[in-house]
Structure 1
């Protein structure tokens, strides 16, 4: 009996020791060649964080400058862009370039609410100061973010590109019509054309009436299975592009079959990168898309 009790005690002790042992700590998965830069609070009280991916040759070629693709909603879309970029760069259908995801510093943030401040070009109502600050965001890009990338990461100021989805796509089009000299290419994935009753279409028509050129490449997509009214707005803008006849703008439209609003991002960005970077690609003479 004593031996049985002793055996039970030893077994219980062993089980306690096993339970006390911490689970093995495995390193988190990280995306190679990436870093985060939290910026100081700017004049508008916004604290931005940059998700930065550097090309494979960055450390080996210290005198080389690189094109940059800036993408809105970096907390969501940065990883999608980078994974597609690595495949396209391997195939040499895009040049090596830096990717910068635009986001916010801090934890447990409400991205859905915060992005309305930057990405909406108009206020949702006249008193809503939490929306409609896209022009201030563009100014912050010019004053704070571009100089940082061009000073510390050898970004080429003559080769900037912009991408965004949904409200980010709307912001991308707004930036093109507001400051067309800032970027050389634009990817508007499922842009929120319907905001403000097709407000951006009015901006496009006004810009076209000026006769000013847009020296850039533009790729616009919609998702076949997204909300019908939302897709209808995108199609209205896509159908208008041939009529606008923006001098020097090279554009392409596409509807991503079978996808809904968020599911369209991967294909939209992949095909969009191929299109806007086509003139700089090492081996592709013509996009097959």
Structure 2
């Protein structure tokens, strides 16, 4: 295929353009677009097949600045759901926060489906718990949590200089629901969780079920809610944090609600991430007063 394209272009365009076309053809043959020239996203990539569902997930990894896998340093790891869109946004955001605010560097892991087409992107399945109002197609959250626990996290920690004691999980909207649900189902798996504008349902009742046992006493959950998001989403953010901050709940984590003034449902995720990270790492950095 590459040779055919080179022959056609060499007969019809100048040499410089032909060279460019040939380089483009090589990329097509490789079936990928290189990220090598985007240093803010420098890191690793590997596909990972969920053994239960059979679906392939694309795992992108951004290395901390100055990363050396052979050194003794171990880094916090931020696992980003909906990596198709959020990984290329939050990976450079974390770098800038390290530059400007002295936020500790971290390995950023984006878990992507490889497209937005519902035939490929199964977020409506993976991020919804079984409940009284879920459809037969939904309710895949237990399987996806098992995928994270038994495949994604072990593979990342096998490949990279990760600190198992400081794992974080970030989700937006439906993925934000999953972040909150997972906090009840496996509290110890992630040291910190960030749920930005979580969806209220289906399976809303599962967000208020009894938390499973935990062994750690240093766990954290941050819920961010934009004032320009829907009233229903703002309500679930308030209800969840109020419920789990009540002394009678005895939650396994410290909880905080961040109200994002003028924040929208999706476009404020960068600022939500910034403020959530300040809260999670408040003992490591002097966060500015908002």
TM-score range (shorter-chain normalised) is 0.7 to 0.9
Give the one of 199, 203, 212 matched to 1:192.
Answer: 199
2:144 corresponds to which residue? 137
3-state secondary structure, aligned to 1:278: coil
Q: How do 1:88-237 residues align onto structure 2 when only pairs under 5 Å count?
A: 88-105=97-114, 109-110=117-118, 113-122=121-130, 125=133, 128=136, 130-196=137-203, 198-203=204-209, 206-207=210-211, 215-237=218-240
Q: Distance in 1 between matches of 2:227 and 2:166?
A: 32
1:150–1:213 CA distance, 2 compared to 1 (3 A): closer
Q: Root-mean-square deviation (CA), in Å?
A: 3.2
Q: Distance in 2 between matches of 1:143 and 1:36?
A: 18
1:42 aligns with 2:51: yes
1:263 corresponds to which residue? 267
Cα deviation 1:214-271 (Å, max 9, x = unaligned): 6312211111111222222222223333315535632221221112211221111111
CA contact 1:93–1:278 (8 Å) conserved in 2? no
Give the one of 275, 278, 281 matched to 1:274.
Answer: 278
Give 1:193 deviation, angstroms. Answer: 2.6
Give 1:45 deviation, angstroms. Answer: 1.0
Q: Distance in 1 between matches of 2:281 and 2:93?
A: 13
CA contact 1:275–1:287 (8 Å) conserved in 2? no
Instruction: Compare relative contact order (CA 8 Å, sep 6+) and give the higher one, 1 or 2.
Output: 1
Bigger Cα Rg: 1
1:240 corresponds to which residue? 243
CA contact 1:180–1:215 (8 Å) conserved in 2? no
CA contact 1:70–1:162 (8 Å) conserved in 2? yes
1:84 corresponds to which residue? 93
Q: Distance in 1 between matches of 2:243 and 2:18?
A: 59
Give the one of 234, 254, 257 matched to 1:253.
Answer: 257
Q: Distance in 2 between matches of 1:124 and 1:50?
A: 32
1:40–1:221 CA distance, 2 compared to 1 (3 A): closer
Cα deviation 1:104-149 (Å, max 9, x = unaligned): 24x6743885111211112585651x31111111111121111111
Q: Distance in 2 between matches of 1:41 and 1:218?
A: 26
Give 1:152 deviation, angstroms. Answer: 1.0
Q: Distance in 2 between matches of 1:245 and 1:97?
A: 32
The answer to which of 111-120 and 47-56 deviates more is: 111-120
Cα deviation 1:3-56 (Å, max 9, x = unaligned): xxxxxxxxxxxxxx9x84449959986344233211245232121111110111
Q: Distance in 2 between matches of 1:77 and 1:118?
A: 17
CA contact 2:227–2:263 (8 Å) conserved in 1? yes
Give 1:285 deviation, angstroms. Answer: 4.7
Q: Distance in 2 between matches of 1:237 and 1:247?
A: 11
Give the one of 67, 71, 75 matched to 1:62.
Answer: 71
Cα deviation 1:44-102 (Å, max 9, x = unaligned): 21211111101112127533221101111011111221122011111353212101111
* Count of residue correspondences: 264
